[in-house]
């Protein structure tokens, strides 16, 4: 009932943080700890949702259920009465079995209802993320980005042979190598580098493919780019470098053998 109510309720404006909190509690209550792979850097909404859910790791589902209903009650004090068609303040109590049934409602994981309430997020998704790597959704001039996202090495080679630039840039300045680094496409990275792709090309924010691979903790891709000479200390427009922002899982991969020997 609560999840359904939050999707259909009118006149309730939730902030992105509130939506994320509801989403993460719902996922923890219904699925337990997050085991999904971390979305790529370009999937802004996916990364926000993943991070919110992953931060609840270890919370018991029943506790997440209770927290979810407490949050809904905080946002909509009369939700239960409204859901039961009763006057405000006349609703009964919710049992643990009610909670389990409530959070099994299939529509509660929708991203946005027509009123802008529910569990949606007020985050603008980048053009790159919106494509989700589906070649059919890209125009003819953008096929190389889709091929890089999908891991289609043969298509990339054909496109480059036909005259498409291996360092072609999208509207955000990202090259096929950025896409491959973000999506964890190691075979594409090897192919692009062999075709002459610039290993330290920068997007509009000054981020290199290595910065993308580091942000996504794509270990194999980080290793490939470093071996190809990628600069771990290349600062973006905010002064951040792959080395300064790297998690421990990939930081050691940024140190070249000759550097450690010195």
Q: What is the CATH number of the domain that holds 17?
A: 1.20.80.10
Q: Report pLDDT digits (tens) over 168-181.
A: 998 889 999 999 99
Q: Is the pLDDT higher at 121 or at 200?
A: 200
Give yes or no: residues 72 and 25 share one domain: yes
Question: Among 66-70, 103-107, 163-167, which stretch is predicted with the lowest mean pLDDT?
Answer: 103-107
Report the b/e string of 192-207 with b at 16+ CB within 10 A.
bbeeebebebbbeeeb
What span, in angstroms and rounded, lies between the C-alpha atoms of 66 and 212?
Answer: 37
Report the b/e string of 213-239 with b at 16+ CB within 10 A.
bbbbbbbebbbbbbebebbbebbbeee
Would the pTM of this model clear 0.85, i.e. be above it?
Answer: no
Considering the chain, what percentage of its residues have pLDDT values greater than 90? 43
Q: Is the pLDDT higher at 84 or at 51?
A: 51
132 CA to centre of own chain: 11
Is residue 172 one of the residues assigned to a domain? yes
Is residue 117 left, alpha or beta, with left meaning phi > 0 and alpha meaning psi from -120 to 50? Answer: beta
Give yes or no: residues 244 and 186 share one domain: yes
Is residue 115 one of the residues assigned to a domain? no
What pLDDT does 227 receive?
94
Q: What is the CATH number of the domain that holds 142?
A: 1.25.40.20
Give yes or no: residues 209 and 157 share one domain: yes
Q: How many CB atoms lie within 10 A of CB 70?
A: 12
- Which helix or strand (DSSP H or E) is residue 30 part of? helix 16-31
Residue 81 has pLDDT above 70, yes or no: no
Q: How many CB atoms lie within 10 A of CB 116?
A: 12
What span, in angstroms and rounded, lies between the C-alpha atoms of 180 and 155?
Answer: 14
């Amino acid at each position: 009932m609560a999840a359904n109510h939050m999707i259909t309720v009118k006149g309730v404006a939730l902030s992105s943080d509130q939506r994320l909190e509801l989403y993460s509690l719902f996922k923890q209550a219904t699925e337990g700890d997050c085991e999904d792979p971390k979305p790529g850097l370009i999937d802004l909404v996916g990364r926000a949702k993943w991070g919110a859910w992953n931060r609840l790791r270890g919370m018991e589902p029943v506790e997440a259920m209770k927290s979810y209903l407490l949050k809904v009650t905080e946002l909509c004090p009369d939700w239960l009465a409204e859901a039961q068609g009763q006057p405000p303040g006349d609703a009964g109590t919710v049992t643990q079995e009610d909670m389990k049934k409530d959070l099994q409602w299939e529509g509660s994981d929708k991203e946005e209802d027509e009123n802008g309430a529910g569990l949606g997020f007020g985050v603008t998704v980048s053009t790159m993320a919106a494509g989700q790597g589906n070649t059919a959704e890209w125009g003819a001039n953008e096929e190389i980005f889709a091929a890089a996202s999908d891991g289609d090495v043969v298509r990339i080679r054909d496109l480059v042979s036909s005259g498409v630039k291996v360092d072609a840039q999208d509207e955000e300045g990202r090259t096929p190598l950025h896409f491959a680094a973000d999506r964890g496409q190691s075979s594409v990275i090897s192919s692009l580098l062999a075709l002459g792709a610039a290993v330290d090309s920068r997007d509009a924010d000054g981020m290199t493919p290595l910065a993308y691979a580091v942000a996504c903790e794509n270990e194999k891709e980080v290793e490939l780019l470093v071996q190809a000479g990628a600069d771990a200390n290349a600062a973006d427009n905010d002064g951040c470098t792959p080395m300064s922002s790297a998690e421990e899982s990939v930081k050691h991969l940024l140190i070249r053998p000759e550097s450690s020997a010195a």
